[in-house]
Chains A and B, each alone.
Chain A
Amino acid sequence: MTGPEPPFFECRDLHMAYDRVEVLSGVSLSLYSGDFVGIIGPNGSGKSTLLRGLSGALHPASGQVLLAGRPVHRMRARDRARLVGVVQQHSPLSFAFSVRDMVAMGRHAHLGLMQGLGSHDREAVAWALERTDCAELADRPVTELSGGELQRVVIARALAQEPRALLLDEPTNHLDINHQLEIGRLLLSLNSERGMTVIWVSHDLNLAAEFCRRIVLVSEGFIVGDGAPEDVITEDRLTELYGTRVPVRKNPLTGRPHVVLTAQEVGAE
C-alpha cells in the first residue's frame, strides 16, 4: 500500500521579491507528477516569478519550494536539471552554436567534467531533435533561425535533459498560430505518452484552456483561482481581474472555455 502521492512541486507560503519589491505574497501550491498545468494571469501578476521559484533560479524571500520533497534552492543545480527542464522566455544567443550542439548542451547535467557524449546521450539528443521537428535544422547555426525554429530548439534542449517535468514560460509568444498549436500538441503528447509533468505559463487564456487540465490563476502575487479550466476561466472572474468584460463561451469542438474578443463593449448581462 502506498499513501497519497507526495506532490512533485510544493510551494509553502512562498514569498518572492526582486530587490525587496514583493512579487509573490504567500503562495501555497501543490503540483503533482503527470499534471498538465497552465499558470495564467495578467501582466506583472507574478506568474513568471512563480515559475522561476519552482525552477530554483530565484531564491524565495521566505517560505519554501520543495521539489520531489527537497528544498529546491538547496539542491545542486545538476540534480535539479535532471528532474526539471526549463524553457525560458528570452534566450539571448550571440554565439553561433549549431542546433545539434545547442541541444546536446541539454545533456550537461548527465555528464562528468571530461566525459563526452555516450550512446545514450546521443539517442536523447536525436530523440529531442526529432520530437520537436528540429532534425533537419541540426547543422544550422542557432543565430540564423526564425523565432519559431529557435523556440523549438530551446524546447528540444530541455527535452534532451530527459526531465520529469517541463517548465515553460510563454513558449508560444510571438509565434504563428500553427506553431502555437504544434507546441501545445507536442506538450500534450509528451504528457500523455511519457507522463511528463508540464507547467505552462501563458497569457493566452484560450490556449491554456484548450490544452491544460488544471489552471492556476495568479493575480497581484496571489493565487486567485485553481482548478479545471471551466471552473477558473469564467466571465465574472476575468472581468474582475482584467477590468474589462469579456464574454466566455464554450469551444464547440472541445467544450473548453473560450474567451471571445470583441470590439463591442459588452455590458453585464
Chain B
Amino acid sequence: MTSLRRRRRVFYCFVALLITLGTVAGGIVAVVVGPSGQPLPVVLDALGDGARSVVFGESYPRDPAHTIVLDIRLPRVLLGCLVGASLALAGAVMQALFQNAMADPYIVGVSGGAALGAVAAMMLNIQLRIAGFTAVPILAFAGALAATVTVYVLAQRGGRVHTATLLLTGIAIGSLVSAITSFLMLSRDELQPGVIFWLLGSLSGRSWLHVYALLPQLVIGLVVAVVMARPLNVLVLGDEAALNLGLDVQRTKRWLLALSALLAASAVAVSGIIGFVGLIIPHVCRLIVGPDHRVLLPISALAGALLLVLADIPARMALAPTELPIGIITSLLGCPFFLYLLHRQGTRGL
C-alpha cells in the first residue's frame, strides 16, 4: 500500500519533470527559429550574457542578435509560459468550483468583459497610458474584473452564492456584454481585423513589461493553489458534503473565485482571449495524474505553459512574416490529443 503511494509520487515527479523539460526544449526552439534565424550557439551565448547581466549586473553587447534573443524572443517565450500557466491554473480551479466539466477561466464573465474593454479601447480610440501599458490591456483588465464582480453581485442571494446561479448569471452577462461588443465592432469596419486578432489571442509584440505585469499574479496564484489544494478536494464533493466535513464553503469559494478571475483577467489583458488552454489542459492533466488538486494544480500550470510555448512557434512561423492568432494553434494542437485521451478513457468519461 505504502509502496503504491510511493510509486504514484515518483510518477507525479516524472510527469512534472517531463513537462518541464518539454517546455525548456520548446522555449529554446522558439528562441532559435524565426524570420531572422539565430543559430543555437549565438542564442546560448546571448542567453548566457543575459543571465550574467541579471545575476552579476554585467552588461552585454547591444548587437541585433542579443536584442532579438533577449528583448524580443525570450520575453515572448516566458510570457507564453506565464499566460499558459495562469489560464490552466484558473481553469482547473474554476472546474473544481463549479463541479462542471464545461467551466473554463472565462466562465464568470472574464472574456466578455475583457473583449468589451479592449474593443472599446480600439473602436473609440481611447488614449490612455498607465505604467507603460496602452488602453487595450488596461481596459481589457478593467472590463474583465468589472464583469466578474457584476456577475458575482447579481448571483448573490442573501450573502450566499449558488453555483448554478453563478454559472447562468455569467452566461447572461456574457451575452449582454458581447452584444455591446458586436455593436461597437460594427461601428468601425476598418478596425475589425485587428479586433478579431486580439479576440483570438496573441503573444505578438509583447515585451518584458507584460512578463512583469503577469508574474506576481501567477506567483500568488501558485501559492494559494498549494495552500487551498486540500479544501478544493473537499469542495468537489459538493457544497453540503464539504460543509459537513468542516469546510467554510462560502468563504473558500469567494477566495478561489477572486483568485482565478484575477489570474484570467491578467492573462487576457496581456495576451487577448486565448481559448482552449484553460478548458482542456486541466482535463488532460486530470486524466493523467488524477483528481487530487495537490498534484493536479501544479501539473496543470506546467502543462499550460508547455502548450502555449509550443503553440506559439507555429503561430509565428506558419504564415511568416504574418502572425497567426495563437488560439487557433492551441485548438488545432490540443483538440486531437484531448479527443485521443477521451477515447482511450472509454466509458468512464471525465
Task: Chain A residues near B350: list those with CB within 8 A.
Answer: 94
CA distance A81 to B246 in the complex (A): 5
Residue of B nearest to A79 (CB): B246
Residue of A nearest to B248 (CB): A77
Contact between chains at A105 and B1 (CB < 8 Å): no
Residue of B nearest to A116 (CB): B230
Contact between chains at B234 and A108 (CB < 8 Å): yes
| Candidate in B4, B241, B350 with the most chain A CB atoms within 10 angstroms | B241
Q: Tell whether A242 is near chain B: CB-to-CB under 8 Å.
A: no
Contact between chains at B348 and A143 (CB < 8 Å): yes
CA distance A81 to B244 in the complex (A): 6
Contact for B243 among A77, A93, A139, A158, CB less than 8 A: A77
Residue of A nearest to B233 (CB): A105
Q: Which of A82-90, A207-215, A232-240 contacts B (4 or more CB under 8 A)?
A: A82-90
Q: Quick one: which of B220-249 are within 8 Å of A by CB?
A: 227-228, 230-231, 233-234, 236-238, 240-241, 243-249
Task: Chain B residues near A56: list those with CB within 8 A.
Answer: 243
Task: Tell me the smallest distance from the CB of B5 to a CB of chain A, in Å.
Answer: 9
Contact between chains at B245 and A97 (CB < 8 Å): no
| Candidate in B231, B243, B248 with the most chain A CB atoms within 10 angstroms | B243
Residue of B nearest to A158 (CB): B244
- C-beta contact mask, A170-213 vs B, less than 8 Å → 1, else 0? 00000000000000000000000000000000000000000000
Task: Chain A residues near B292: list those with CB within 8 A.
Answer: 97, 101
Residue of B nearest to A95 (CB): B291
Contact between chains at B244 and A85 (CB < 8 Å): yes
Task: Chain A residues near B243: list those with CB within 8 A.
Answer: 56-57, 77
CA distance A13 to B233 in the complex (A): 37
| Candidate in A80, A95, A106, A138 with the most chain B CB atoms within 10 angstroms | A95
CA distance A16 to B286 in the complex (A): 40
Q: Tell whether B290 is near chain A: CB-to-CB under 8 Å.
A: yes
Q: Tell whether A78 is near chain B: CB-to-CB under 8 Å.
A: yes
Task: Chain B residues near A95: list those with CB within 8 A.
Answer: 236, 286, 291
Contact between chains at A80 and B241 (CB < 8 Å): no
CA distance A151 to B195 in the complex (A): 54
Task: Chain B residues near A138: list those with CB within 8 A.
Answer: 1
Given contacts A88-B240, A95-B236, A96-B291, contact A111 B248 (CB under 8 A): no
Residue of A nearest to B250 (CB): A77
Q: Quick one: which of A103-157 are within 8 Å of B by CB?
A: 105-106, 108-109, 111, 113-114, 138-139, 143-144, 157
- C-beta contact mask, B194-233 vs A, less than 8 Å → 1, else 0? 0000000000000000000000000000000001101101
- Other contacts beyond A81-B245, A108-B234, A113-B227: 13, CB < 8 A: A77-B243, A82-B246, A93-B237, A94-B350, A96-B291, A97-B290, A97-B292, A108-B246, A109-B245, A109-B246, A113-B228, A139-B1, A161-B246
12 residue pairs A–B, Cβ–Cβ below 8 Å: A76-B248, A77-B246, A86-B244, A92-B238, A93-B237, A94-B99, A94-B101, A94-B236, A95-B236, A95-B286, A97-B291, A139-B1
